[in-house]
Structure 1
Amino acid sequence: MAKDARIRIASSCGYELWIDGEYVQRGPLRCPPNTFAVDEWPVVIGEGKHPVVLLAQRDGEPSSLYVYQPGRLLVELSARDGSVLLASDKSWRACAIPEWERFTHASDFLAGFSEHWVEKERPWAWPPSSSDTGDWGNAVEIGSPGDFGEKFEERVFPALADTAKPFSKLLNAAQADRLPGKPIDSPRWDGAQFQWRWHKGNWLAARIPIPENDRQPPPSYGYLADKEEHHPWPAHVSGLPATLPAVVPFPLQLTGLKGEDLCLLWDFGGSFAGRYRLAFSCESPGIVDITQGEVLDGESRFSSESSDTFGDRFEALPGRRAWRMLAVRAGRYVQITLRGFKGEVAIDSFCVEEAHYPWVNRPSFECEDEALTRIFHASMRTSELCFDDVGMDCPHRERAAWGFDGWFPAQAIFFGSGDARPWRRAMELQATSFDPNRTAGPLRGGNPADHEDAFPFGSLFYLHEVAHYYRCTGDKALVKDLWPVLRGTLAWYRRFEWQGLLRDVPGRHFYEWTDRIPRPPLDRPYPEWRRANEHLKGPNGSYSDWDSQHSQGSSALTNGLYIRALKAMAELAAAAGDSEFESKIPELISATRQAFRRDLWIEDWRMFADRADDAGPVRELSEIANVYALWADILPKDEALSLIARLRDPARLMIRIQSPYTLHHYVYGLAHYGQYSLAVDLIKWAYLHHLDNGGDTLGERFPVGSSMIHGVNGFIAVWILECCLGLKL
């Protein structure tokens, strides 16, 4: 008789759980060093034997998903009454997957590694049958829970919902010749994947040891889409529709192959983020490469500005297999390249398996302004794709829980569903980057993290964000838990106070992406203006952080954000019950605002300078600095409205905002002064160019950027729900 049970898993790295040959769930939540999230999954167990298999992947270096630590796995299966049916011990069997190529190249500086699979003796089959475990050895038992001083935390929100996204149509097919050039020079590290398997009725807490310094020169793959030249599809290969684009039913059977490199370009009809599922068979050995991009050029190839600079590879033997990738990829277009096959290749199925927050009722919005409605839904779709176990900056290139970037997908979930758990955990996770051995200091940029990456911009905004969370949820318990971190963060900044302002604050001061070309406000993003005025940009005129000079002296951006953080700390001090600290904040805010106006205002411009030094305000003008002044509420309302008018004056040339980072402050600042129509116009200026050209998600820069699916853009949906509709949950 079948019985309800639960399985609890703690793992130091990503895993997939399979029972009786069926996929159950994946995990765990990313955690700070030496902390393990305990996943609990309901399962139904019948009489007899039930193979339980875990496929775990551990990279040889830290990534944005998991910090680098020894591979550990802890499993327990129990009945509903709490009785333990099986518990992990050394009788478990384990082995390194021979098909997984350990030495591969990093897909990005944070996201992890390309997947490279090489079939050895037979076609890949997962999960393995009981007859496939002859070369498996006993796992190594390394201790009991708590032996390493580790912490455990319960999973705080439900599993994501998996949805298969099929392709829309086959866009193009061609024969490809690789262009000559240098081997790929991206950094590589050794990674490893492991299988964990219950055997003979027992469970384990075990690991397979990895040589910590076992590194070798990686192979030079050379299978990037931008290193190929395309030619017409060879006439002797049949199986394609007579004309393309076309919807192609599966199986797609290609016959007559003679070892050519053949490219198939697929359109998924919109942005996706998920794991590829490809089932195919072949008569001869060959290689399957998969690359992806977000925009195509005029020749149906990936645009170099929007395609990933890496691919994934499967080296196949004759036979049939179903390739399930572990890593998440994202884009809109996917190129499958068949290399070296002869005879027949049949693609039995191909889709992307997306994993979304499990909405009960997915939020929607519609208004008379059709453009704003489109932008709202693009913002929600972007947030959906940028949420995994936490909000992320983007779902493929980095997948990092960056401070600021990653908080907005969690906010969108809250305002769309009322579920505050993802937002709460984002605040908790960011706080773990505070150095516990110090009483003051900035937070790190991305979390979880075991690297030193002080991020003053994110740290100040974090104080503002915790107050926003508290204002929306009333969660005093979290504020009290975080209060030492919040106070310590602010104390670090106060070390740099000088004559009322913060001055020469060290660290990475990211505020905005900009090419530093002065321009007027335009109705659309400015490709034409940029091309015509390249000569205007200075030596730092490429897209980069807005910090090369502006962290020196007294920065308008840093001090504007500092004032917002001080306002937040007054609210948080009251919630934490620290009345003495609360009483000191109003005077500090007033003094900082006065110093901001005194030192950074340029009277003949009637605007704020980017920064001030010993000689006074430096006569450098940007829209960015003045947006921060508006957001910090420096001016009385009548003067603020006059400043807004000057910012929108087409006769004024200045460095303009070019990304959602400053746009967030601009939109909220305009709303503060009742300028909702202007805020909506600004939102449409930023995003319509991309949406009118086929986009359905929002990116990191205007009009296009390195990621066109970027979590920071969740703030648009949040702003509409919170400020325009007045939604209070």
Structure 2
Amino acid sequence: MNSRFTAPPARDASAVWSNGTKIIWFPDEVETHFEQPKNAFCLFRKTFEAPAGVSAARVRAFADSRYRLSINGTYVGRGPCRSDPRRQVVDELDAAAYIRPGINVVSVLALHYGYGTGQSIHRIPALVVEVELTTADGERLVIPSDESWKCRPAAAYDRSAPRVNGCQGPIEIFDSRAELPGWERPEFDDSGWAAAKGRGTKLSPFWNWTKREIPPLEEGEAAAKVVAWRGTLSERPGPPSRLHHQIMEESVDAEMAETSEPIGDGVVVEASRRGTATVVTFDLGSTEPGYLRLRATGAEGDIVDAVYAERLWCGKAPLSLTSNRPIDRFILNGTTAQELETAFAWRACRYVQLIVRNPGGPVTIHRVGLRTRTYPLERTAEFHCSDERLRRIWDISAHTLRLCMQDGFLDSSSREQQQWMGDGRWQAVINYHYSGDARLHRKLLEQIGQSQDPSGMTKARYPDGHHNYPPIPSFCLAWISSFGEYELYSGDGSLLPAWWPNVVHALRWFSAYANEDGLLEDVPYWPFIDWGEGPEGPVPDDQRGGVVTALNLQYAEALGAAAGYASRLGDEEAEAHYAREAARVRTAIRAVLWDDRQGAYVDCLVDGAASESVSEPTNALAILLLHEAGEERARRIGRRVFSGSAAGGAVAAGSPYFMLVIGRALVKLGWAARALELIRERYGAFLDAGSDTTWERWTLFHEGSDGSVSYSSASHAWGASPIVFIYEGIFGLTPLEGGFRRFAMDPDPCNLDDVRATLPVAEGEIDMSLERIDAESWSLAVSIPPGYSGRIAGRHCEAGRHTITIAKEKGT
């Protein structure tokens, strides 16, 4: 049956609330459930009696926009998982360890943004909680959120706080003097609190409640190792709503000095002179994601501001009014050794810069750290190599991938924390080699699909209530092509049939911009392909409209992928159409966009005039998608664009985003050794800068002619592709069947003495190593788990251990 016309049977993914469970909020803010209070922090409590012999306890929870849930004063978890409100995901937490016989209390700090972010789409102030207890004899007791819950605004949080940026929620300004001590404990007296206002879960803005299909994030601890910098600044007080302006203005003339002080039992900050503040910068030793945790002692009213940084500029945590203001504020209540923690604003940082405003006396910082959060992985790849620099490049790539694996594949773990399709496509491919876990990739494809508009175009990032950028057509094409990668690497063929009509609809959108040659021309929206070397170096000429070569190559790729999908789904009409259109586009690219004088494909054709610009992204795509390795044009591209020779003129290099494509193109040419040279050179700059992460661009800080400094993201997993190169470039690994059940391996040792890697697969791991025998040969050893087989150096190999001698590497 053609899946363009019929849907596959619906998966039972619904999350069903009990009949009595309601959406609740503080009544004064939801008189008719359509008011939108801003930065509304509220406290909720429900006491209940648990019988003896509870054998299981589960909590289902959701909030628009955030919740932090405790039972009997003990923290249980935070949420919710990012999702489209039309298919609202419900978190489920294991609470058995927190329930005791007799009186219990579930308490929730909830936050409603009142606006959309780059991670959430707001609807109404909402909290839904359901505690389900099961006894040893099978009795089931449900404690639902309803009007019996007590609530009140959380006065300790300042609602006038500015946002971190357009992608995130508010800076947290927490005045612990207004906190209610013990409010999370069963014995707390909440008789003066208001009864919550309830609304049914069925007729609501959340009409498809679904089960969470990715696991809860793992939480841990990361503690600061040393004080790295100290300094002073002159205060420029302002209202809380302008805290970001205040701190940016104060930091301009801050005087900083590098140090390396042990933290020991605490760091004492002496009283600051009136009108000044002390700056103390703590170094975690590595970039980590999580919620700030402080233990501090000071006088009532003392202020500790926290500014977070992946990297420092002249000892200062950089801030940007337009794109990133990662700041929080704590006001102390005068008690000894206060435990403080951000509620919802998680950061990724190496440095926590504290600005201490304490004119009344000393403040002691006993501890600085993070409650870390990461996506849990059952197993991860291992890599060992005689080349220490390459091993360290693997390490920073793997670390960045982990930072950006949260409740989605995030572009950056610090600045935006958004799920972009282009970034996520490559992160998924990288992660298949690193862990084999397919769940975040499936979520990415489904959620980007949920963003599709009536014309067929998908959003570049989703879920997204930020709405500050138009779609990126190349990311929509990435979405189409990524379905094939999901099937190839996961072995799961269940996703494509459900989304096939949407794929057809997306390609129909592109067809409206095809010219008489079949090439896309003057495609609207954001024409992003790659950053190139900008802002310092040359960039691809792909922003002027007209016929953009890279976009047409990606279009040909998507059309070819769709022809393959149609074949697998039995849609003969679509298969014939897409195969014909893919061939037509490829033929037109060869005919119209090749510059024989340059020996490469130009970046664009505008008003009939070919661009003079030649770039790595465009020509890497051409090698992969248009030519066989031995073709004359492929060889000419290699010499003109990738050989490193200056002959022929400048070439715009690709950014870290395009390194996966560039590496694959060079491997296809048989130039794995050249790919390794580029990796050592470009990623080696990160190592030389002392970074433990891969960056958004090749440079991090950008100085303007006026002396201003801007900066890019220092934790961008779209550049973690050296992980893939180890397998595809050095070991020559290619999956032939879903999930590497069958694979091919044709190594190129790249003159390395010793290299070993493991590839996680569903039934274990494939272990592979290369060890130099002499100047011209290597020993290749491969261990294959049961149920898998490979074609290794031309030989068929079943499960077991195999050792083969490999001749001198291919070279260039």
- Shorter-chain TM band: 0.7 to 0.9
Find the counterpart in structure 2 of residue 348 from structure 1. Answer: 366
**Structure 2 Cα separation of the partners of residues 723 and 16 of structure 1:** 45
Amino acid at match of 2:281: L
Q: Aligned in 2, Cα 1:27/1:423: closer, same or farther, shift over 3 Å? A: same
Aligned partners of 1:284 and 1:343 also within 8 Å = no
Shift of 1:232: 7.9
Matching of residue 36 in structure 1 with residue 30 in structure 2: no
Q: Secondary structure at the match of 1:397?
A: coil
Matching of residue 651 in structure 1 with residue 647 in structure 2: yes
Find the counterpart in structure 1 of residue 513 from structure 2. Answer: 496
TM-score by length of 1: 0.84
Post-superposition Cα deviations, 1:650-702, rounded to whole Å, max 9, x if no partner, equal: 23433422522222221122223332222222222221111122101101000
Matches of residues 198-277 of structure 1 in structure 2 within 5 Å?
A: 222-224=246-248, 227-231=251-255, 244-255=259-270, 259=274, 260-277=276-293
Find the counterpart in structure 2 of residue 586 from structure 1. Answer: 579
Matching of residue 573 in structure 1 with residue 560 in structure 2: no
Shift of 1:722: 5.5
**Structure 1 Cα separation of the partners of residues 205 and 319 of structure 2:** 46
Q: Secondary structure at the match of 1:76?
A: strand
Matches of residues 21-100 of structure 1 in structure 2 within 5 Å?
A: 21-44=73-96, 45-80=99-134, 81=138, 83-100=140-157
Aligned partners of 1:658 and 1:701 also within 8 Å = no
Q: Secondary structure at the match of 2:60?
A: strand
Shift of 1:401: 0.3
The counterpart of 2:557, out of the listed 564, 570, 583, is 564
Q: Aligned in 2, Cα 1:394/1:263: closer, same or farther, shift over 3 Å? A: same
Shift of 1:392: 0.4
**Structure 1 Cα separation of the partners of residues 180 and 290 of structure 2:** 24
Shift of 1:359: 2.7
**Structure 2 Cα separation of the partners of residues 385 and 90 of structure 1:** 40
Aligned partners of 2:424 and 2:441 also within 8 Å = no
Relative contact order: is structure 1 or structure 2 higher (C-alpha 8 Å, sep ≥ 6)?
Answer: 1
Shift of 1:101: 0.9
Aligned partners of 1:356 and 1:385 also within 8 Å = yes
Matching of residue 422 in structure 1 with residue 418 in structure 2: no
Post-superposition Cα deviations, 1:416-475, rounded to whole Å, max 9, x if no partner, equal: 33322121111111111112xx2x422111101344732201001111111111111232
Matches of residues 460-609 of structure 1 in structure 2 within 5 Å?
A: 460-498=477-515, 499-514=517-532, 547-549=542-544, 552-609=545-602
Shift of 1:411: 4.3
Matches of residues 94-113 of structure 1 in structure 2 within 5 Å?
A: 94-113=151-170
Q: Secondary structure at the match of 2:202?
A: coil
Amino acid at match of 2:142: L
Find the counterpart in structure 1 of residue 463 from structure 2. Answer: 448
TM-score by length of 2: 0.76
**CA RMSD across the alignment:** 2.8
Aligned partners of 2:380 and 2:434 also within 8 Å = yes
Amino acid at match of 2:501: P
Q: Which moved more, 1:222-231 or 1:340-349?
A: 222-231
**Structure 1 Cα separation of the partners of residues 699 and 607 of structure 2:** 38
Name structure 1 gaps, 5 residues minimum: 189-216, 234-242, 518-526, 531-536, 538-542
Aligned partners of 2:89 and 2:209 also within 8 Å = yes
The counterpart of 2:683, out of the listed 667, 684, 687, is 687
Q: Secondary structure at the match of 2:631?
A: helix
Matches of residues 296-315 of structure 1 in structure 2 within 5 Å?
A: 296-297=312-313, 299-302=314-317, 308-315=324-331
Find the counterpart in structure 2 of residue 118 from structure 1. Answer: 175
Matching of residue 431 in structure 1 with residue 449 in structure 2: yes
Q: Aligned in 2, Cα 1:619/1:175: closer, same or farther, shift over 3 Å? A: closer
Find the counterpart in structure 2 of residue 671 from structure 1. Answer: 667
Q: Secondary structure at the match of 1:501?
A: coil
Percent identity, aligned pairs only?
26
Q: Aligned in 2, Cα 1:146/1:714: closer, same or farther, shift over 3 Å? A: farther
The counterpart of 1:708, out of the listed 700, 714, 728, is 714
Q: Aligned in 2, Cα 1:425/1:546: closer, same or farther, shift over 3 Å? A: farther
The counterpart of 1:11, out of the listed 49, 52, 63, is 63
Matching of residue 720 in structure 1 with residue 774 in structure 2: no
Post-superposition Cα deviations, 1:278-333, rounded to whole Å, max 9, x if no partner, equal: 12121242211011222234x43345799954421122332243221121112222
Aligned partners of 1:381 and 1:697 also within 8 Å = yes
Matches of residues 391-430 of structure 1 in structure 2 within 5 Å?
A: 391-430=409-448
**Structure 1 Cα separation of the partners of residues 368 and 254 of structure 2:** 23
Find the counterpart in structure 1 of residue 395 from structure 2. Answer: 377
The counterpart of 1:318, out of the listed 314, 322, 334, is 334
Name structure 2 gaps, 5 residues minimum: 1-51, 701-710, 741-760, 762-812
Amino acid at match of 2:87: T
Post-superposition Cα deviations, 1:194-235, rounded to whole Å, max 9, x if no partner, equal: xxxxxxxxxxxxxxxxxxxxxxx75675023872434489xx
**Structure 2 Cα separation of the partners of residues 620 and 6 of structure 1:** 59
Find the counterpart in structure 2 of residue 239 from structure 1. Answer: none
